[in-house]
Amino acid sequence: MRKVLVNVSLALLLLSITSSILLSPSPIKAEVLRMIGPEDVGGAWAEVIKRFHERHPDIQVKYISGPWSTDERQNMYIRSFLSGDPIELVYMDVTWTAKFADAGWLLPLDRWFTPEMQEEFLPGAVEAGRYKGHIYRVPVRGDVGMLYYRKDLVPSPPRTWREFEEICERSSHPPDLYCIVFQGMQYEGLVCDFLEYLWGAGGEVIDTEGKVVLDSPQGLEALKFMRKLIERGWAPKAVLSFQEQHSLSAFSQGKAIFMRNWPYAWTILNREDSPLRGKVGIVPFIHKEGYESVGTLGGWGLGIARGVKDPEKAWRFIEFATSVEAQKILHFRRGAVPSRKALFLDPEILEVSPHYKDLYDIVMRARARPPHPDYPRISDTLQKHVSAVLAGVESPQQALKVMARSIEGTLKGKKKNYLKRLSLDYDLKRTLKNTLVFTSISVPLEFLLGLLIALLLNAQFRGRWFVRLSVLIPWALPTAVMAMSWQWMFNNPFGVINDLLLRIGLLERPLDWLSSPSGAMFAAVFADLWKTTPFVVIILLAGLQTIPQELKESISIDGAGPLRRFFHLTFPLLLPFVRVALIFRVIHAAGIFDLIWVLTKGGPADSTRTLCIYIYEVAFRYDELGYAIFLTVLFLFALIGVSFLIMRLTTLGYERAR
Amino acid sequence: MRKAAFFFLGILIVLYCLFPFLWTVITAIKPPEEVFSLPIRYLPKRLSVENFVEVFYKRPFSRYVINSLVVATGGTILTLALASLVAFKLRYMPVQRALMLQRWLLVGAIVPPTLLVIPVFVAIKALGLINNPLGLILSYCFLNLPFGIWMLYAAFSRIPKELDEAAMIDGLWWGGILLRVILPLARAALAVSAALIFIFCWNEFLIALTLMPDQLRYTVPVGISMLSGASIYEIPWGQINAAVTITTVPVILIVALLQRWIVEGLTAGAVKG
């Protein structure tokens, strides 16, 4: 008894010592209001916060520079809400509001943001902040998709799809000058682009009665038109990996006549150092003949997270950040479109941005994406199938059918019966297939390669120690970090892999590895091969070294050649090691996450999204911990089954008898 | 002839294994404007530290490094402390039973972190340790404990039991035996285990991403993955490569120094299972 007590107390002592050492350097948290936004270009937010601080010295606000990708920042907010330490000021996109409000993560702002105050803002932007009768979000900046065109190349901008096609036919000559660049990567931006084509052809995702009407002739036309842009070479294939900044960078280098983008680009294109200064015009987005042009409403607003100690202070900041003064700073420093109506007629703004008079019209007519707490799922469905159509892996007809069915399923609500849900889970099937493909390609390859390297390293030659050391390196380096390196090496046009393959003559022209489904899968397998073959080598090499030299000599004296020696002596003796290596590798390849998450994020068109990425997103993006745990347990059992199978297959008959 | 072929193959393998790292370093030491120059230059025109300076000045990268150091060191110390206690206990068990227990530990060690992240998240949240380095340290300890026990048990069982008995007769209690007799004798194994577990913690991505949502708490791998697409114009590849270089060089140094023992330790564990 005394012994047990001593044990426990010693363990506790160790624990408390380490924890106190580790906890002491962490800074004491001052009451700070945090918000996450994209990189603070032009120091606009810094200026807003500085001026706010001058007025309210008692309130600290911290602007956290997050990634440029909207989805990534949403994930950051969701993780913070789930973790119980919410980021206080929620700087959210129009599409997040319904989901965040429905989950109870936001504080209703009705008592501060009165109807009279709402009057002063753009109506669409205010409405986007309302959910089930309460207001949760004050618009900071409005946004709307539109068409940019080169005034020097196109005298009068196209208004309809047909006019647009004619100009493409006549004036574009890829690969030097494409017709259009847009946001074609599998992410939220692609949905915005798609909706403009859909609405511009008179189509809808969900009608006013809440029925899914996407699978319609209009929907088909929209998808076919987008597919045509790529097929005809009017848009570069690389748009499949483009977000806003990539489109802008291609457009500003003079690579395209048109660009679909948000208003912020106008300011950047008209900077003094911009080669396109004064050469760019904007018009409402193109539409099908006989229909009207619609732009997707974007824009950002501020809300307050539930659980904030002093919401009054948070409101003070929101009030200031949405004021005329702050909106002007955001406009002049980073081209943000104001959310207050009056500012579109403000002489100061019109002087710098004369296009604002026209913009006002477009913004007032902009449409919001379908508001639904499960919008992320609806959007994911749209993203993945539109992206699949662009990549040419799905036909428009097929994609429409699956999208409509999948969105209907989402609208019906979450099924509590997990088993039933399992059979309907389209994502699960898709990701399971990807996982199987990935595992069945990468494991045999790395096993063969690993075996060859191990056999080589078992022989004596000069400099062997250095080769052994080098083989250890990929195994020891951090996967997630090296995935960034691989992303860089597979980059087009700056990546070294294209360059090397071109030089050797294996490629005729550069490939966009990460933006085509098969290219991305190849890249993932290749990087994984590099990363994990060393593990196989280490294990097999250890096995080879346990084989006594005398045995090899005696079997050689008996007249066996190297091949016979391998199959009759080496390999059987190596089997226990083969077993260990195989089990480890299969389990870890099936459970791959880091590499793919960083390298491709599962895209394009979900072609590299594996089971574990899906499970992680179910838990931390769709906020369905229960279903995620259910899937995890199933997966675990499957892995145990596979391990036993491998065990059995690699055990010889006589061993089994023992 | 055969020797030459082997030598040549050896060079190929070295190139294959080291190339991604070498290319990262080459990109990192290029001046920023040359990173995006075409055609690609394989040797930089001049060496430059600008990318490194920018990573530290423009971004809270030093913060990430400190965070990583804290959790990796903490995780290593805690894991080794607990592992040596357990391994010491196993030493007094009948060998058959100890091996049985170890086999079960192997099963624990094989489960990929991807499957553990959700339960770990739920547990750490219940403890209120989200955004707290201690939460990550506990998780890393949980993940690496089986490996640590393995390594240390293998080392401890090589030490003759007579030593314990002699120490006991001299009046040492069991903690004293562990601290003064066993651990000093097993210090080589201890060092290798420490190095390996440190590397595992330093490299870990998924759990750090999930348990530390606050940007100021990011570890290096998470911070680097978030560097992507941070600017409107282009992804700052020069800075990313500089950050990758800084992160990987210590790992490579550790591996180079402890090469022989690492291989021994790894295989001792894996093969026994």
Average pLDDT of the segment spanning A547-551: 80
Regarding whether B43 and B73 lie in a shared domain, the answer is no
- Interchain CB distance below 8 Å, B21 and A620: no
Write the CB contacts of A407 (distance below 8 Å, at least 6 apart in sequence). Answer: A205, A206, A212, A214, A378, A381, A382
Indicate if the alpha-carbon torsion angle B166, B171, B174, B179 is positive or negative. negative
Regarding whether B109 and B31 lie in a shared domain, the answer is no
Q: pLDDT: is A653 or A442 the higher one? A: A442
The CA–CA distances, whole Å, from A545 to A222, A481, A541, A580 equal: 64, 33, 6, 16
Indicate the SS3 state at residue A37. Answer: strand
The number of distinct structural domains making up chain B is: 2
3-state SS string for A338-398: ECEHHHHHCHHHHHHCCCHHHHHHHHHCCECCCCCCCHHHHHHHHHHHHHHHHHCCCCHHH
Average pLDDT of the segment spanning A477-503: 88
Strand A256-261 to A146-150 pairing: antiparallel
Give the pLDDT confidence score for residue B230 in this predicted structure.
43
Regarding whether B248 and B208 lie in a shared domain, the answer is yes
pLDDT digits (tens, 9 = 90+) for B95-153: 888 878 877 777 777 788 888 898 899 899 888 888 889 999 999 999 899 888 888 88
Of the residues A443, A464, A471, A477, the best mutation for testing chain B's interface (the one with the most B CB atoms within 10 Å of its CB) is: A477
pLDDT classification of A406: cutoffs 50, 70, 90: confident
Cα–Cα distance, A65 to A8 (Å, whole number): 45
Q: E strands, A162-255, where?
A: 178-181
Regarding whether B29 and B152 lie in a shared domain, the answer is no
Of the residues B55, B58, B78, B205, the best mutation for testing chain A's interface (the one with the most A CB atoms within 10 Å of its CB) is: B205
> What is the average pLDDT score of chain A?
85
pLDDT classification of A31: cutoffs 50, 70, 90: confident
Question: In angstroms, what is the C-alpha Rg of chain A?
Answer: 29
Amino acid (1-letter code) at residue B247: T
Regarding whether B35 and B121 lie in a shared domain, the answer is no
Regarding whether B97 and B39 lie in a shared domain, the answer is no
pLDDT over 90 at A648, yes or no: no
Question: In angstroms, what is the C-alpha Rg of chain B?
Answer: 23
Question: Is-contact B234 A249, C-beta < 8 A?
Answer: yes
Which 8-state DSSP code applies to residue A43? Answer: G
Give the pLDDT confidence score for residue B267 in this predicted structure.
65
Indicate if the alpha-carbon torsion angle A343, A345, A349, A354 is positive or negative. positive
Return the CATH number at B98: 1.10.3720.10
- Chain A residues within an 8 Å CB radius of B23: 485, 488-489, 496
Regarding whether B81 and B36 lie in a shared domain, the answer is no
pLDDT over 80 at A10, yes or no: no
Give CA angle at B52 (B46, B54), nearest 5°.
Answer: 110
Question: Does A654 touch chain B if contact means CB atoms closer than 8 Å?
Answer: no
Tokens of A24: 């002491």
Element (H, E) at B102: helix B95-110
Q: Minimal Cα–Cα distance from A119 to chain B, Å? A: 33
Residue B88 resides in a domain: yes
Regarding whether B89 and B44 lie in a shared domain, the answer is no
Residue B234 resides in a domain: yes
The complex scores an ipTM of 0.90
Residue B53 resides in a domain: no
Regarding whether B116 and B67 lie in a shared domain, the answer is yes
pLDDT over 50 at B269, yes or no: yes
Give CA angle at B22 (A504, B65), nearest 5°.
Answer: 145
Regarding whether B78 and B32 lie in a shared domain, the answer is no
pLDDT classification of A9: cutoffs 50, 70, 90: very low
Give the pLDDT confidence score for residue A4 in this predicted structure.
47
Regarding whether B81 and B42 lie in a shared domain, the answer is no
Write the CB contacts of A605 (distance below 8 Å, at least 6 apart in sequence). Answer: A186, A384, A385, A387, A388, A390, A391, A393, A394, A517
**Quick count: other Cβ atoms within 10 Å of Cβ A651?**
14
The domains of chain A, with CATH numbers, are 32-143+300-364 (3.40.190.10), 146-295+374-409 (3.40.190.10), 426-657 (1.10.3720.10)
- Interchain CB distance below 8 Å, B118 and A619: yes
Interface of A with B in 28-87 (CB under 8 A): 36, 38-39, 41, 64-69, 72, 76, 79-80, 82-85
Q: Choose the weakest-confidence range: A187-196, A565-574, A588-597, B181-190.
A: A565-574
Q: What is the span of the domain harbouring residue B21?
A: 2-48
> How many CB pairs below 8 Å do chains A and B form together?
279
Residue B54 resides in a domain: no
pLDDT over 50 at B233, yes or no: no
Residue of A nearest to B121 (CA): A83
Counting every residue written for chain B, the total comes to 273
Q: Minimal Cα–Cα distance from A281 to chain B, Å? A: 20
pLDDT digits (tens, 9 = 90+) for A272-309: 888 888 889 888 899 999 898 888 988 899 999 988 88
Give the pLDDT confidence score for residue B266 in this predicted structure.
67
Give the pLDDT confidence score for residue A27 in this predicted structure.
42
Regarding whether B29 and B148 lie in a shared domain, the answer is no
pLDDT classification of A16: cutoffs 50, 70, 90: very low
Give the pLDDT confidence score for residue B162 in this predicted structure.
85
